Chain A
Amino acid sequence: DAKTTQPPSMDCAEGRAANLPCNHSTISGNEYVYWYRQIHSQGPQYIIHGLKNNETNEMASLIITEDRKSSTLILPHATLRDTAVYYCIGENNNAGNMLTFGGGTRLMVKP
């Protein structure tokens, strides 16, 4: 799995967009980029994933650079309930369940 690098913490004002960056310069051609988040000590929650193209779902948007060495998770209108640790992970779906979690980014949404 690709090693990912994320800033340890970020703040965001409630109602504004939260842009969370991730570097994954060692990602291989068949590795998807997955984003999960963990609220308090709950189990990680899947947010979104992508391979090459930008993706959007009801929770967030994922922007992947053309060289696939970095990506940005966008929460368009952050709420207080989005306060969590966000993990960016390179996951090779052909390698079983191997997930390598780094330290993630602790996002604090402030009123």
Chain B
Amino acid sequence: NAGVTQTPKFQVLKTGQSMTLQCAQDMNHEYMSWYRQDPGMGLRLIHYSVGAGITDQGEVPNGYNVSRSTTEDFPLRLLSAAPSQTSVYFCASRQDISNQPQHFGDGTRLSIL
């Protein structure tokens, strides 16, 4: 089982560039979310989705956009990259019923120069 797949694994951008971090899951999970993790810190929620066509902001949404056109995919867009967005980004998914854990991808390590 592939689970949650994130691409790319590594990326270096220049300030002002835009890019899309991809996240796909093959478990038919309704709920998906994006987190960022800065060095020595826990994960912080950026955006999340409870189903196709539905997205909402998390704790740190500024500078990021998301969309959810299919159940499987939940891309994260950086509109104009800034050095403060240098971080490790994790995507997660879970079933839309109670009492279910989250499944995380392996992360995308992003550096903004």
Question: Measuring CB to CB, which residues of chain A are less than 8 angstroms from any residue of chain B?
Answer: 32, 34, 36, 41-46, 49, 51, 87, 93-94, 96-104
Contacts and interface: CB of A to CB of B under 8 A. Distances in A.
Contact of A98 (B41, B58, B101): B58
B101 A46 contact: yes
A41 B107 contact: yes
A102 B41 CA distance: 8
A10 B44 CA distance: 23
Interface of B, secondary structure class, is strand
Nearest to B95: A93
Given A97-B33, A99-B43, A43 B105 contact: yes
A99 B101 contact: no
Interface string B70-113: 00000000000000000010101010011111111111010000
Nearest to B58: A98
Given A87-B42, A96-B31, A97-B49, 6 more contacts: A43-B90, A46-B103, A94-B98, A99-B35, A101-B42, A103-B42
